[in-house]
Amino acid sequence: MIDRKDAYEIVLVALQEVFAQTGAPAPDNLGDDTVLVGVDPVLDSLGVVQLIVEVEQRVEAQHGLALTLANDKAMSARSSPFRTIGVLADHVVTTAQEVAS
């Protein structure tokens, strides 16, 4: 099972990987409230796609869980589960619990 701390670490490392791949400078002070989708995001829309895939792949490699983070529930939610690092980490935990059960 993935706890919140594990999920947060995975998102953070995945985000650093996306910055490295795209050549964009990583902003200082990345944290729970760092915006991924919305006003002044740290990534463009393709960067978000890349981040979500990177997180899925890391969860699969480290925890053996095949998640699809952009699932029906996520894409029909009133507010995006990808909007900040913290919200995405929460979404990873929830989705992992659903898949594991």
Partner 1 sequence: MSAEQPVMVVTGARKGIGRFLVEHYLSKGYLVEGCSRGQADLKDANYRHHEVDVADEKGVRGMVADISKRHGRIDAVLNNAAIASMNHVLLTPAKSANRMLEVNVTGTMLVCRDTAKVMMRRRYGRIVNFTTIVAPIALAGEAVYAASKSAVVTFTRILAFELGQWGITCNSFGATPIMTDMIKGVPKDKVDAVVNGLAIKRLGTPQDCANVCDFFINPASDNITGQVIYLGGVS
Q: Write out the residues near partner 1 by the rule CB under 8 A.
A: 46, 50, 53, 56-57, 60, 64, 66, 68
Q: Pick the closer one to partner 1 by CB: 6 or 17.
A: 17
Q: Pick the closer one to partner 1 by CB: 24 or 46.
A: 46
Closest separation in Å from C-beta 82 to partner 1: 16
Q: Is the dihedral of CA 89, 62, 27, 51 positive or negative?
A: negative
Q: Pick the closer one to partner 1 by CB: 68 or 97.
A: 68
Helix orientation angle between 4-22 and 45-63, rounded to the nearest 10 degrees: 130
The whole-angstrom distance between residue 41's C-alpha and the CA centroid of its chain comes to 13
How many whole angstroms separate alpha carbon 100 and alpha carbon 21? 31
Closest separation in Å from C-beta 31 to partner 1: 27
